[in-house]
Amino acid sequence: MHRPALVSAPRGIPQVVGPRLSVAPMMNVTDRHFRVLMRGITTRTWLYTEMLTTASLLQDRGPALLQVEPVEPPLVLQLGGDDPSALARCATMARRRAYAELNLNVGCPSASVRSGGFGAALMLRPARVADCVRAMSDAFGARVTVKHRLGVDGRESFQSLIDFVGAVAAAGAARFIVHARVARLSGLSPRQNRQVPPLRPDWVHALKGWFPHVPIEINGEIRSLAQAERYLHQLDGVMIGRAAREAPMLFADVDSRVSPERVEPPTRRQVVRRYRSWLSRELVAGTSPLLLLRPLQHLYSGCPGARRWRRALARIDRHSPGDTIVRQLDDAIDEVERLHATARSHRLGETVCVR
Ligand SMILES: Cc1cc2nc3c(=O)[nH]c(=O)nc-3n(C[C@H](O)[C@H](O)[C@H](O)COP(=O)(O)O)c2cc1C
């Protein structure tokens, strides 16, 4: 993997310069708990919030949604909306928080988002996206980026993709993250829209060829660091979504690969230990145990003991007092680590699960 340098960016936010790896924004996945868990695995991967709509942020409890934990940066806030002035107000709210960038969602095809006129539907309105980016940049005072599709129904040619990126880059968008397939606004669910339209990574390469000075990232079914590395030689970044949810330890080797110093990848036990203090604190604050345990579900994915781990987590009594929940979590990790160690000593699963 290319070895990017860490430099200090405006407002003291660490920035990885050069090609970057990130975990995609995912609703009901990349909440604060998941992000804190990820930070116990990797500090060099960029993280995104779930999409926050302008409507949700401009309510009374909006500012609370923008809270950033000190461990989270580099972190990007993803906004959903199509009204430049509402987006500017949200960008102003985000300005004093530790977000490195703002990102506009131009890729979500869900019916509710579509009926709001934003998400992937905005690919039909490049001039409006340009207005949104301008308004967000002016209010935020730092980089604004766009996550989008190759196209949507009725606007699917490579020429219209170039027109879209050209118009939005001219408005000051600092980076484009391209989910390398079109979105079908009618006839497919969001889930199908992540599977059915064929992936066209060649279009992302062609887009980069067309705009060599514009940072362009690829997203879509990237499932290993080796695959990511191949793209990082040619493009400006790789964004990984579902594989991060389904196997977060995929990212355990990132820091050691990009860091000039020697960094030992964390073990699963260390990751749980790091997350444990967050979990204890949040349980005291009254956060739902369900939400807090959710990010841990797939920690042993691909390893001996994965199913045992999920079952042990499911057995944790969500109604117990916080210290009992933490003790049950400790018991679960002990149980699975014993199994894991036995499997390792019998050299089972060593190709998929080295820690
Ligand atoms: C459960 C789930 C929720 C998602 N929520 C968002 C979101 O809030 N904003 C967004 O831009 N994309 C969202 N996406 C799309 C992902 O960011 C990503 O573009 C897509 O999953 C393709 O990448 P992958 O193949 O690596 O998963 C979501 C995807 C999933 C699976």
Q: Which of 205, 234, 258 is the last residue of a domain?
A: 258
Q: From CA 124, how far away is CA 122, in angstroms rounded?
A: 5
- Statement to judge: residues 194 and 297 lie in one domain: no
> What is the position in ligand 1's atom list of the atom closest to the CA of 220?
25
Ligand 1, atom 29: closest residue by C-alpha = 26
At 11 the pLDDT is 38
Instruction: List pocket residues of ligand 1, CB cut-off 6 Å.
Output: 24-29, 50-51, 78, 105, 107-108, 147, 179, 194, 219-222, 240-243
User: Residue 38 is part of a domain; what is its CATH number?
Assistant: 3.20.20.70
- Statement to judge: residues 10 and 159 lie in one domain: yes
Inside any domain, residue 350: no
Inside any domain, residue 177: yes
| Cα-based torsion angle of the residue sequence 52, 242, 216, 253 in order, rounded to the nearest 10 degrees | 110
C-alpha 85 to ligand 1 mean position (Å): 26
User: Residue 307 is part of a domain; what is its CATH number?
Assistant: 1.20.120.1460
**Three-state DSSP state, 236:** coil
Distant-in-sequence, close-in-space partners of 314: CB < 8 Å, separation ≥ 6: none
At 348 the pLDDT is 55
Ligand 1, atom 28: closest residue by C-alpha = 26
> What is the position in ligand 1's atom list of the atom closest to the CA of 105?
11
Inside any domain, residue 263: no
Q: Please choose from 242, 294, 298 the residue to mutate so as to test ligand 1's pocket, defined by most ligand atoms within 8 A of CB.
A: 242
Task: Evaluate the CA torsion angle 129, 134, 135, 141 in order and state its sign.
Answer: positive
CB-based burial, 302-316: b 16+ in 10 Å, e otherwise? ebbbbebbbebbeeb
CB-based burial, 207-226: b 16+ in 10 Å, e otherwise? bbeeeeebbbbbbbbbeebe
Domain range for 71 is 6-258
Q: Which of 223, 258, 293 is the last residue of a domain?
A: 258
Inside any domain, residue 138: yes
Task: Evaluate the CA torsion angle 268, 271, 276, 279 in order and state its sign.
Answer: negative
Q: Where are the alpha helices (DSSP H) in 81-121?
A: 84-95, 111-115
Q: From CA 172, how far away is CA 140, in angstroms rounded?
A: 12
Q: From CA 352, how far away is CA 355, in angstroms rounded?
A: 9
Inside any domain, residue 55: yes
- Statement to judge: residues 197 and 311 lie in one domain: no
Inside any domain, residue 352: no
At 341 the pLDDT is 78
- Statement to judge: residues 99 and 235 lie in one domain: yes
Inside any domain, residue 351: no
The residues of the chain scoring below 50 in pLDDT are: 1-16, 349-352
Segment (H or E) for 101 = strand 101-106
Q: From CA 94, how far away is CA 101, in angstroms rounded?
A: 9
Segment (H or E) for 324 = helix 322-345
Counted domains in the chain: 2
- Statement to judge: residues 48 and 111 lie in one domain: yes
